[in-house]
Copies of this chain bind each other. A is one copy, B any other.
Amino acid sequence: MKTRVCEILGIAVPIIQGGMVYVSNPELAAAVSNAGGLGQLYSGKDPDILRERIQQVRQLTTKPFGVNVPLLLQEAKDLIDVAIEEKVSVIFTSAGNPAKFTEYIKERGPRVCHVIPSVRLAQKAEGSGVDLIVAEGWEAGGHNAYDDVTTMTLIPQVTDAVQLPVVAAGGIADARGVVAAFALGAEGVQMGTRFVMTQECIAHQAYKEAIIGAPDTGTVITGRAFGPTRILKNKLAETIINWERQGMSSEAILEKLGPGRSKKALLNGDMEEGSPMIGQIAGMIDDVVSVQEVFDRITSQLEPLLQKLQQKLSG
């Protein structure tokens, strides 16, 4: 696989590990970069901790890696400055206006990739000068946009609308997903759920086991009115959705929830009261493997899959 995404990011294989809250640990990011893809840290909110984690990745790999900074964080500027100072090769900005920091970052070295859920925001990102775009469909785990635009419909429309290379995210975990994403126009993929389900990922064992047990219908969107979030169906999801159905206000729901729900699931393994954010493709994943194995499975299956495809489509 060789696309503009590889050139821009300086990587061998256009497979990116999504920057996930709590579970994008340095060992995971480094393993992904060592396998030829692009590992990624999540910025968190504390610049000092971020700096430490970047340095940890650096000790484990000489390859490029990224940091995901949600622009809605009050600390965004400080976090970006740390990533720049530590010479991270690419900053993934999300959840905010890409015009705000793109020029600032690019002048100081790193590439900028912006994560978008719609054509309008893709065009806006392109206009702001970012180097590439991650287009994330409704299948994706964790925080999503308000509109339910899926990977299947988003990718062709975004690739039609912008000149920049587009990385597809949401619903991809194997070679079939990669080929489908490329057929739709993507030049790379970003995966989260598949990388949670690796030996290198720090995610709690109970959370990984729940993902293995999840069927295709095993995830659901909570917080539809105040911040759609895809999580595994559990007691908490049921509770939130009941509150929503009863017409409870977003403020009241958020107050009842309190902070720390995702950490409770992802790191502490509380699968009842925690918010186990995960992508819809969780239903397809039934093992925990090494990061290298994730790459090997995908790259080894591409050629046979393409041949089968050629056969089916050429009659």
Q: Which residues of B contact A118 (CB under 8 A)?
A: 215-217
**What residue in chain B is nearest A159 (Cβ atoms)?**
B176
Q: How far is the CA of A154 from the CA of B185 in the complex (A)?
A: 20
Interface size on A, residues (CB 8 A): 61
Binds B, one of A27-35, A261-269, A276-284: A276-284
**What residue in chain B is nearest A243 (Cβ atoms)?**
B247
Partner of A183, one of B137, B180, B280: B180
User: Please, what's the 1-or-0 string for A152-191, where 1 marks a CB less than 8 Å from any CB in chain B?
Assistant: 1110111010000000001110101111111111010000
**Contacting pair B309 A157 (CB below 8 A):** no
Copies of this chain, count: 2
Q: A306 on the interface (CB 8 Å rule)?
A: yes
**Secondary structure of the A side of the interface?**
helix
Q: A297 on the interface (CB 8 Å rule)?
A: no
Q: How far is the CA of A185 from the CA of B177 in the complex (A)?
A: 10
Known: A151-B152, A245-B225, A284-B156. A306 touches B313 (CB 8 A): yes
**Contacting pair A153 B283 (CB below 8 A):** yes
Known: A247-B246, A309-B182. A174 touches B156 (CB 8 A): yes
Q: Write the residues of chain A forming the contact surface with B, with a CB cutoff of 8 angstroms.
A: 1-3, 118-120, 137-139, 147-154, 156-158, 160, 170-172, 174, 176-185, 187, 215-217, 220-221, 225, 244-248, 280-281, 283-284, 302-303, 305-306, 309-310, 312-315
Smallest CB-CB A-B distances: 3 pairs: A247-B247, A2-B315, A152-B171
